Amino acid sequence: MESAAETREPPYPVIRPPALLRAYVVVFGFIWCGGVVAGLVTALIHASPVAVFLLVMLAFGAGLCYRLFRMSVELRPGELLVRNYFRTIRVQVDNIEGFRVGSTAAQPLSKSIHVLLGGDQLIPLDVTSRPYLFGRGADLLDRRLAELKAWHAAH
């Protein structure tokens, strides 16, 4: 019989943010949502119309933290599953022309890997976004790019 740990890991490679970043998102999410819930309870007790605004803040914060925590790229057999900040995309291997490092939107000192599709279409892989000028950013991007290219060549 398989243990719970053996069945939790997918049988294919998955690119995720570093564990420390994921832990930060969880802690920040609890602090954010906890603070908003405390304000929401107070607003509801006093029958304040601010409660509507706080509900929107709670929904936005919880949704954003969930998306940040789940952000990943799954290298499945026959497809690439991309979970970015705001949307999830499934790309069939046959539609992928290649991968390249490119600029990250709204982050001038960062770069990320982009999936090249037919028709000059690009899909950024938000999970690979790294500061390019500092630290190990360029090395990490090169390793991820090599991993993606090897996966694509094998399919």
Single-letter amino acid, residue 112: S
**Residue 81: inside a domain, yes or no?**
no
Let me know whether 142 and 97 are in one domain.
yes
Let me know whether 66 and 108 are in one domain.
no
Pairing verdict, β 72-76 and 14-15: antiparallel
**Residue 60: inside a domain, yes or no?**
yes
**Residue 79: inside a domain, yes or no?**
no
Q: At which of 24, 39, 70 does a domain end?
A: 70
Let me know whether 19 and 62 are in one domain.
yes
Please, what are the averages of pLDDT over each run of 10 residues along the chain (155 residues)? 57 89 94 96 95 96 93 93 92 93 79 90 90 74 91 88
**Residue 4: inside a domain, yes or no?**
no
Q: For 72, how many CA atoms within 13 A lie in the half-sphere containing its CB?
A: 16
Number of domains in the chain: 2
Report pTM: 0.79
Let me know whether 65 and 118 are in one domain.
no
Let me know whether 24 and 55 are in one domain.
yes
| pLDDT at position 133 | 66
Let me know whether 65 and 99 are in one domain.
no
**Residue 76: inside a domain, yes or no?**
no
**Residue 5: inside a domain, yes or no?**
no
| pLDDT at position 3 | 53
How many whole angstroms separate alpha carbon 144 and alpha carbon 152? Answer: 12
CA–centroid distance for 97 within its chain: 22
**Residue 104: inside a domain, yes or no?**
yes
**Residue 59: inside a domain, yes or no?**
yes
From the list 30, 19, 105, the residue with the least C-alpha distance to 66 is 30
Let me know whether 105 and 147 are in one domain.
yes
Residue pair 153/96 in contact (Cβ under 8 Å)? The answer is no
Question: 126 is in which domain, residue-wise?
Answer: 93-154
Let me know whether 66 and 97 are in one domain.
no
Q: In Å, how far are 15, 97, 137, 155 from 75, measured between CA atoms?
A: 8, 15, 21, 10
Q: For 17, how many CA atoms within 13 A lie in the half-sphere containing its CB?
A: 19
